Amino acid sequence: MLYNLHTHESSNSKEVLEIVNQYPYDFNSEVAYFSIGIHPWYIDTNRTDEYLKKIEEKLIMANCLALGECGLDKRIDIPLEIQQEVFEKQLTLAQKHKKPVILHCVAAYQEVIAIKKKMNIKEPMIVHGFSKNLQVAQSLLENGFYLSFGKYLLRNPELASVFLQVPDDRFLLETDTISETILAVYDKAASIKKIDIEKQVSKNFTHIFKI
């Protein structure tokens, strides 16, 4: 069994357990496993409470594995203060329902770390689509985050040296929106780590999501 932390479209493969990203305003009940959250790009302050209510309704479902993707993005026009408010309200739900969190984070790693500390988040928090340098990776790892690799591991050769130094029990793999399969990501990861990637990712995934 292969495990895909984050995708926006189901592959319908029986050999892959994948977490399909869902939105409170666009929900597909047919996917096997999903996460649900308010992405910072799509914050609508007039509907935040409505969306949070819908998210909480879904979080109690057995096949809802995580909250997210949610987080902070400094490269969009929505003020960071508003993003933080919506993000923290979602994290409160993750704490209440004991769900891991799949994070979208762009140029706001210190802010996300600070919020994790402030709110004393105990649930696993996974930065999806990690693409940054070793310094950023180490800062996140030291503060208890997991890192998920996918598109940039395939596209950016320089990321291999960062991935190699991530502890084996602190990473996951994903496809997000790329056309390549999760198997392609596994193959790339295996060529870098030189370990049994299937066994390690299975161990990490089942530990985080209690499957």
Q: pLDDT (tens digit, 9 = 90+) per residue, 26-41? A: 999 999 999 999 999 9
> Could you list the residue range(s) of the whole structural domain that residue 121 is in?
2-209
Given a cut of 90, is residue 162 above it in pLDDT? yes
| pTM of this prediction exceeds 0.95 | yes
Here the CATH number for the domain that contains residue 160 is 3.20.20.140
47-50, Cβ contacts within 8 angstroms, sequence gap of 24 or more: 48/86, 48/89, 50/24
Per the structure, the count of domains in the chain is 1
CB 5 within 8 A of CB 174: yes
Q: For residue 208, what pLDDT is reported?
A: 98
| Mean per-residue pLDDT of the chain | 97
Q: For residue 211, what pLDDT is reported?
A: 84
Q: pLDDT (tens digit, 9 = 90+) per residue, 85-103? A: 999 999 999 999 999 999 9
